[in-house]
Amino acid sequence: MESTDTIPQTEMKNEIDWSGKTILVADDVYTNFLLIEAILKGTNANVIWAKNGQEAINQCVDHDHIDMILMDIQMPVMNGIEATREIKRLRTDLPVIAQTAFTMDFDEKTLLMAGCSQVLTKPLIPDLFIKTLKKYF
């Protein structure tokens, strides 16, 4: 029997309707993008991918309909910190949520000072991930 104290993730996602919202996932690892896309399945969000920081900037310039960015920090071409700084110059109100497995390399203060709204560590915990995104929608 299910506990009434917690809502299973699938039910929580079914209560969320992010129709019309576009989330850009900037991550050089395609399987990480697929994982995030799977976690967000059922929320009706449009999820798009950039494989490095420069692509994330280009997509923000080309598409003003992006509502949130999930930014990996360690990427080739341009890392997430540099990309976040540039994106925040273009769109100060755009939430950028850092996601990193390298918490020792980048302290949270550095990421927040670069313009990130919040920092999540990998591996992502689906319930916490959804609750975090919900705060910005």
Whole-prediction pTM: 0.85
* CA–CA separation, 108 and 96 (whole Å): 13
> What number is the average pLDDT over the span 110-131?
89
Q: CA–CA distance from 35 to each of 42, 71, 116 (Å)?
A: 13, 14, 21
Phi, psi of 136 (to 5 degrees): -100, -5
Contacts of 3 (CB under 8 A, 6+ apart): none
Which CATH architecture is the domain 17-136 placed in?
A: 3-Layer(aba) Sandwich (3.40)
* CA–CA separation, 103 and 3 (whole Å): 33
Using one digit for the tens of pLDDT, what is the confidence trace for 19-56?
999 999 999 999 999 999 999 998 999 999 999 999 99
Using one digit for the tens of pLDDT, what is the confidence trace for 70-102?
999 889 999 999 999 999 999 999 999 999 876
